[in-house]
Amino acid sequence: MFESIFYYGTSLWGLFVTSFVAATLLPAGSEALLSVMVIEQRYSFFALIMAATLGNTLGGLVTFAMGHLARNVKKDLLPKQTAGIERVRKYGVICLLFSWLPIVGDLLCFAAGWLKLNVFWSSTLLLLGKLMRYGVVILLAQGVWG
């Protein structure tokens, strides 16, 4: 029984789901699972990076959509929230290249949605930032343990 759970967890779908959840406001991390999967060598690096990147990008877009919807529901923000929104407003969509950062990345996605930044450019920069992050994770896992 536990073998099947572990097998699902180290499947490409398991990586996709873990990466998706990690990009939402829920606490999760996908780097450890990705590193284990690199070491196992059951999948190509291309398949691993695509599953992780697509899951994480879609999760980031969910957080972006939550920010967009939240603005329609609540117009007033706390001063601390306003400061974060203003930083994203100042630097624009380019901030989403840093959406892979722990804690801060989720807030950047939410703020971009709140500001209703361009969805095409937001999606593109989310994807690029997350692709770079997972590329580095794969290189580190391969170099350290390979």
How does DSSP assign 78-114, residue by residue?
A: -HHHHHHHHHHHHHGGGGGGGTTSTTHHHHHHHHHHH
Average pLDDT, the chain: 87
Give the confidence band of 9 by pLDDT, cuts at 50, 70, 90. Answer: low
Residue 71 scores a pLDDT above 90 = no
Rounded CA-CA distance 49/3 in Å is 24
Which residues contact residue 104 at a Cβ distance below 8 angstroms, ignoring those fewer than 6 apart? Answer: 98
Please tell me the predicted confidence (pLDDT) of residue 1. 37
Which is higher by pLDDT, 66 or 81? 66
pLDDT digits (tens, 9 = 90+) for 93-142: 999 999 988 878 888 999 999 999 999 999 999 999 999 999 999 999 98
Rounded to 10 degrees, the C-alpha dihedral 57/60/65/66 comes to 160
Structure tokens at 16: 């996709």
Please tell me the predicted confidence (pLDDT) of residue 4. 46
Give the confidence band of 83 by pLDDT, cuts at 50, 70, 90. Answer: confident
